[in-house]
Amino acid sequence: MGAAVRGACQVTSGALLWGTIGLAHSFVHEAGILAVSSLRAAIAACVLLIYMACMRTTSGLKRLAESRNLLICLVGAIAVTAFQIFLFAAIRSAGVAMATLLAIGSAPVFTGVVGLLQKQRLELGWLLATILGITGLGLICIPSKSASVIPLLGVTYALAAGTAYTAYTIAAKSLTTAGIQPQAVTTAYFTGAALLLSPTVAVTGGIRGLSSPSAILAVAWLGIIATSVAYVLYLRGLSEVTAPSAALLGLAEPLMAAVIGYLLLKEEASARSVTGMALIIAGIVCSISSTWSRNRRAMIFAQPNSVP
């Protein structure tokens, strides 16, 4: 398996774990959004710091202290903070499926626009996969007859989350491409997010709704699996694929969220939404296939021509 294909699979795996956020959030609905976001960030930062200390891989944190990297890291931490707040707000306003689909589904478009502004070459495979993914999102997000009103506030929150997700992806891509360890970037981002959010929790007192065993387990899942593991997988893959491709592969998150929302949370599904999910899957497969083909061509052209 080539590095690019492995990276695409890692990005997709991380996105699938992110897709469980909505289900976990359903167990902490009574708690404040800021409290859940703060605890999630704090748990992730602690777990990653312990892991890096045990593995003796803290050198990446030192590189992040360099002036240029520190500025990018600050932007990433702010983006992660904003993404969590807006995503959880969108989930409460529009439901798990629509909120996650819009938040992550808008990211490939935003990232592609930034790539064009930076004069990056966007391949035909990425364009086709993006069209499939966005079409699928559109089918899912069209309200049914029984819910004919689109929750505009929830849509606004979701698009704001998508913008923050785009900023995070681009900032993280620049750091991992420079050779900084993915776990170091994730640790720094969530340490910064926890520091930014902790004062607001003290003011709002939202942590009172997290006393039940199910809420504690849900927050632990959010911090350890849906954050620490998911983000490290995503960032490891991000060093091998372009930012627009990573944002496109991230559509695995809203796909997983939609499946969970329809099957476990009893959110309304229809033939149109199932068709939309199929198109998203086709877009992800198209993106991975395009990455594999590009990697294969590069390997062929890299081989020296045989001389008879």
0.85 surpassed by pTM: no
Whole-number Å distance between alpha carbons of 164 and 82: 6
Comparing 3 with 89, the larger pLDDT belongs to: 89
Q: What is the pLDDT of residues 1-19, one digit of tens each?
A: 567 778 888 888 998 898 8
At residue 308 the predicted structure's pLDDT band, cuts being 50, 70 and 90, is very low
How many angstroms separate the first and last alpha carbons of the chain? 30
Q: What is the mean pLDDT of residues 220-244?
A: 84
- CA–CA–CA angle 257, 263, 265 (5° rounding): 75
Residue whose token pair is 């990425």: 126
Number of other residues whose CB lies within 10 A of the CB of residue 54: 8
| Residue 26 DSSP one-character state | G
Whole-number Å distance between alpha carbons of 308 and 299: 21
Q: Is residue 268 over pLDDT 90? A: no
Q: Is residue 263 over pLDDT 70? A: yes
Residue 228 has, within 13 A of its CA and on its CB side, a CA count of 20
CA nearest to 17, candidates 257, 190, 244: 257
Comparing 303 with 287, the larger pLDDT belongs to: 287
The pLDDT of residue 74: 92
Do residues 157 and 99 lie in contact, with contact meaning Cβ atoms separated by under 8 Å?
yes
Comparing 203 with 273, the larger pLDDT belongs to: 273
The pLDDT of residue 303: 47
Do residues 34 and 203 lie in contact, with contact meaning Cβ atoms separated by under 8 Å?
no
Helices (H), 26-106: 33-55, 59-64, 67-94, 96-105
Q: Chain-wide mean pLDDT for the chain?
A: 78
Whole-number Å distance between alpha carbons of 26 and 264: 11
Farthest-apart Cα atoms in the chain, separation = 77
The dihedral sign for the CA sequence 263, 266, 271, 276: negative
Helix (H, G, I), strand (E, B) or coil at 30: coil
The pLDDT of residue 267: 67
The pLDDT of residue 5: 76
Backbone angles phi, psi at 229, to 5 degrees: -65, -45
How many angstroms from the chain centroid is the CA of residue 85?
A: 14
Whole-number Å distance between alpha carbons of 191 and 151: 33
Q: Is residue 189 over pLDDT 80? A: yes
Residue whose token pair is 């803290």: 58
Comparing 263 with 218, the larger pLDDT belongs to: 218
Do residues 181 and 60 lie in contact, with contact meaning Cβ atoms separated by under 8 Å?
yes
Do residues 263 and 256 lie in contact, with contact meaning Cβ atoms separated by under 8 Å?
no
66 contacts: CB under 8 Å, gap ≥ 6 = none
Q: What is the pLDDT of residues 145-185, one digit of tens each?
A: 555 566 778 888 988 998 998 888 888 888 888 888 888 88
At residue 302 the predicted structure's pLDDT band, cuts being 50, 70 and 90, is very low
Residue 267 has, within 13 A of its CA and on its CB side, a CA count of 23
At residue 227 the predicted structure's pLDDT band, cuts being 50, 70 and 90, is confident
Q: What is the mean pLDDT of residues 65-94?
A: 87
At residue 301 the predicted structure's pLDDT band, cuts being 50, 70 and 90, is very low
Q: Is residue 79 over pLDDT 90? A: yes
